[in-house]
Structure 1
Amino acid sequence: MMKGVHFLAIVALLSLASSFVSAFDPSPLQDICVAIDDPKSAVFVNGKFCKDLKDTKADDFYFSGLQIPGNTDNRVGSNVTTVNVDQIPGLNTLGISLVRIDYAPYGQNPPHTHPRATEILVVVEGTLLVGFVTSNPENRLFTKVLKKGDVFVFPIGLIHFQFNAGKTNAVAFAGLSSQNAGVITIANAVFGSNLPINSDVLAKAFQLDKNIIKDLQKKF
């Protein structure tokens, strides 16, 4: 009986450990692993082929362009310029990435999640209302108004947002703890999925008339 209890305890601990391990990018076992699409003379690591070390150059770790404002002329009034492993191949296996976010007056980076990364954001221009919501059942909102030089953290996987509360443009930069953090924009995923989620399901979930749900699905 006691051996059985010990066995179950070990299984539980291993399950817990594996959940922690899978929650973040794996630690690299080499100095660098520059991502390359051509598999010839390459090694497959972390979902990418590694360039031969003798062919690696400084440009594999370089990106230029974050000084250029993004186009915010869209329905949400924001633009995200992403710098991840697709822009800097040398980021492969290093577990970090970066974004620049531009906001038009009263524009927003709408509620979304990063399934693979915690985000740390710094405001460099303007004023932002930001926040994140914890998981069920608390669904507690943590929110703050940020000004130039202020920093805020959005924990991994939690729904969060930024809203330009000022009459002028705003700019922020954010670091993410993944080479490819992923993003799920809530409204797009719920109302713009391919194939569409059944409108009866969404009407009951949001406690809305089905015609309103269908109208929202058309917009997305």
Structure 2
Amino acid sequence: MKGVHFPVTAAALSVLAFTTLLASASDPDPLQDFCVAINNTDFAVFVNGKFCKDPNLASANDFFSDKLRYSGNTSNPVGSIVTAANVDVIPGLNTLGISFARVDFAPNGLNPPHTHPRATEIFIVLEGSLYVGFVTSNINGDGNRLFTKVLNKGDVFVFPIGLIHFQLNVGKTNALALAAFGSQNPGVITIANAVFGSKPPINPDVLTKAFQLDNNVVDYLQKQFWYNNS
């Protein structure tokens, strides 16, 4: 019986190895919003990642940053500030697929609804209490489900890649959190800023119909200053 099963097992392993080879040969995940291909390298400014330094020229400082040591200034319209430690801050993160951020909150401070198009986020509270949540995609036509939780010191929450999420300080003191991302450059799209503060602005006819708002309301929103806390 053992002799009968061996060829089947060997074939299964061969298929698995071949499938793994195909998977490993696929394109890497995007690290930017887009990467337009060009033939003239004189104008090749952006690439899907960063050009690599000669390893012999690397130093410990390429893998170090002290930016997260310092409190951010939350004196702004939303009462929060995000201090990133991504590949632009720590060059040694290039190709490693991870990054970090510090988020400071004033009392009642808000990190407004936003998404990270290229990364899942894991979020831990170091000080204070935060009301956090995310909204799902429209699953099977059942609408967008909201998942929320009040987090206290030491609590952890996960925001799945690409989903709209937020954090609000519900305590009476300053709050502090750290976020880790599954990308060296997760990107951020703050929803209100993108919809009402894009440059050039979205045609008001689109927004009035999409949000069922009066033209005057859309005009007012598009004239506001949309603060970027990151």
The normalised TM-score by structure 1 is 0.80
Give the C-alpha shift of residue 176 in structure 1: 0.2
Q: Counterparts in 2 of 1:42-191, with a 5 A limit? A: 46-136=48-138, 137=141, 138-191=143-196
Query: For residues 194 and 28 of structure 2, what CA distance do their matches in structure 1 show?
Result: 23
Match of 1:217 in 2: 222
Give the C-alpha shift of residue 22 in structure 1: 5.4
**CA contact 1:24–1:178 (8 Å) conserved in 2:** no
Count of equivalent residues: 187
Query: For residues 72 and 150 of structure 1, what CA distance do their matches in structure 2 show?
Result: 22
Q: Which moved more, 1:61-70 or 1:96-105?
A: 61-70
**CA contact 1:123–1:149 (8 Å) conserved in 2:** yes
**Which structure has the larger Rg over C-alpha atoms?**
2
The normalised TM-score by structure 2 is 0.77
Match of 2:12 in 1: none
Query: For residues 145 and 28 of structure 2, what CA distance do their matches in structure 1 show?
Result: 25
Query: For residues 153 and 27 of structure 2, what CA distance do their matches in structure 1 show?
Result: 35
SS in 2 for 1:71: coil
Unaligned runs of 5+ in 2: 1-18, 32-45
Give the C-alpha shift of residue 21 in structure 1: 6.1
**CA contact 2:105–2:175 (8 Å) conserved in 1:** yes
**CA contact 1:46–1:92 (8 Å) conserved in 2:** no
Please give the root-mean-square deviation of Cα atoms over the aligned residues, in Å. Answer: 2.2
Query: For residues 186 and 71 of structure 2, what CA distance do their matches in structure 1 show?
Result: 22
Q: Does 1:207 align with 2:209?
A: no
Residue-by-residue CA offset, 1:156-189 (whole Å, 9 max, x unaligned): 0000000001111000000000000000000000
Deviating 4+ runs (over 3 angstroms): 20-25
